[in-house]
Every structure is written in C-alpha cells, then in structure tokens.
Amino acid sequence: MKTGWWKWVLFLVLGIIFPFIGKEGYLTHLAIAMLIFSILSSSLNLLMGYTGLVSIAHGAFFGIGAYTSGILMMRAGFPFLAALVVATAFTGLIALAIGIPSFRTKGIYYVIVTIAFQLIVSEIFDGWYAMTGGGLGLRGIPKPGQISLPLLGALSFKSKVGYYYLAFVFTLLIHWGIARLIKSPVGISLMAIRDNETKALMMGLNPLFYKIFVFVLASGLAGLAGGLYVHYLEFAHPDLFSFFVSVDIFLMVMLGGAGTFFGPPFGVFVLEMIREFLHEFVALRLFIYGVLLVVIIIFLPEGLLKPLTILVKRIVPTRE
C-alpha cells in the first residue's frame, strides 16, 4: 500500500465519528464551514501552489456557484444535485471566458484582472436586486431533499449532522481527486510550468492551455463549494463572497503552505480558530490577518505546516 494511506484512513475515521461529539451544536456547524472552505482553499492551491498563479477572484467564483445553485432550486425547481452540477459547470464557463484573455497578460497585470473581476462581480451581486436580492440577500434557499441509503435508511440534510456528512463526502471525494490529479501527468505538467515556463514550453507543453485548464477547474470547484455553502445557510448575501473573502481564501493557502496537499486545509483550521477567538473584535482580527500575511510572506513562505511538522519530528523520537 502507498505511503501516506494512513492519513486518509485517519481522516475518514475522524470524519465519521465527529458528529457523535459535536451533535447538533456549534462544533458541527464550525466543522461544516471548515470542510467547505477546505474545498475552496485546496482549489485555489491548484492555481497558486501547483501552477504558480495568484488569483484574488476566488470569492467571486464562490459566489457565482452559490447564487446559481440557490436560484435554480428556488425559482426553477431543480433538484439539489442537478443545481449543484449546473452551478459548477456555469462557474467553470465564466472562468473560461475570463481566463482566455487574462492569461495573455503576465505578472501583475494578470493579478489586477482577477481583482477587477472580483470587484465587478461583487457589484453585480449587490446591484442585481431582481435576481440576487441585492443588499437584502437571497433568502429561503432550500436544503437538499431526503435520500434513502441501504442499511442506513432515510437520511435528512435538514439537520446539522446530516448536512455535515454531505459536506464530508464531497470534501473527501474532491480532495481525493485533487491528490490523483497532482500525481498524474497533468499535475506534473502544471508543476513544470510553475518552476520554469520557458523550459516547459521547450519540452513541448502548452502553458496557456494548462493555465486555462487549471483556472477553469479551480473556479468550478469554488462554485461547487459555494453551492454547498448557501444550501447549508439557506441564505446568500454579497458580503459572503466579497473581495475580503477572496483575501481570506488566499491567506488560508499561504498560512498552511502553497504547493502542499494538507497545507490549505490546515490554513483553514488556523484562520477559523483566529476568527472564533477574536469574533467580537473585527478591527483587531483584520489587523492580525494583515500581520500574519506579512510575516508568512517574509519569514515563512512555505507556510506553517512544514515547520510545525519538522518541530514535531524533532520533539517526538522516531524509531530507527
């Protein structure tokens, strides 16, 4: 069996037993949010960590998928899975339309394009009242319907525990897929482009194709996460998908370590803990975010997870 299999087994076991501890309380709510944001951060990590592309538009794609899925269920009568699939595909199409012209620019100009797109989409969410509800938000988004499973019987997603398992299954499948992609020839090509685009071009790779591919994939996954998020909250609001949310997702990746598989989910955990401890001190929290970002970029460019892992290995003796 391949090295590292035990991490998947541990995640699976802990994920299954967690609701017996959290039940319908706040811990389960927090776990659902962390699972969904781990999808978001890991999808952005495909861009930042494995392809070397910075995007400050992930909050916009998060919102596009959220509003699309919510509107399809509310106003068009789509079942949950169909709405989620369409929302994911639609978000990917928007990313394709943005990516084709964006990747013809380079460096800071590409980053500026993503920031501009984020700001434009935020204005659309806030101003298109007839479709999104504007500043009042989109209320009454339904949760997924009940399903029947062999041996387990009927499973309802109206409870926190039921929705937790739904988010857990999606998170597990998506991270497994990302792990397979990273180790595939496509993943190797992405890292080759990240490390030396000119050399990758000389090897016969098409950097533009791979950049657009990973941008569409990462954005589509962000849209899927958005659908999961609003069907849990039963509510969508422009503030949930603003420029600051894009910065949060960026910080999650940087905190854990861009280009590492477990880094972004770890970054989600760290940032959520900071939020919880400083819940009532918004200004202080934003200040700490800024300080963290500066410290990580200057002193810990590989994120927190790698040095913590090295420290643990030094403290805990290993068998020869």
Distance CA(34)–CA(20), nearest Å, equals 17
* Residue 191: band (very low, low, confident or very high) from pLDDT cuts 50, 70, 90: very high
Residue 292 above 80 pLDDT?
A: no
pLDDT tens figures, 119-174: 999 999 999 998 998 888 899 899 987 766 555 556 778 888 889 999 999 999 99
Q: What is the pTM of this model?
A: 0.89
**Domain residue spans in the chain?**
5-241
Other beta carbons less than 10 A from residue 64's beta carbon: 28
pLDDT value of residue 277: 79
* Residue 90: band (very low, low, confident or very high) from pLDDT cuts 50, 70, 90: very high
pLDDT value of residue 288: 78
- Report the Cα 307 to chain-centroid distance in Å: 23
pLDDT value of residue 1: 38
pLDDT tens figures, 96-133: 999 988 888 777 888 899 999 999 999 999 999 989 98
Distance CA(302)–CA(257), nearest Å, equals 5
What's the DSSP call for residue 145?
P
With a CB cutoff of 8 Å and minimum separation 6, the contacts of 284 are 278
Distance CA(133)–CA(141), nearest Å, equals 12
Contact status, residue 107 vs residue 205, Cβ threshold 8 Å: no
pLDDT value of residue 282: 66
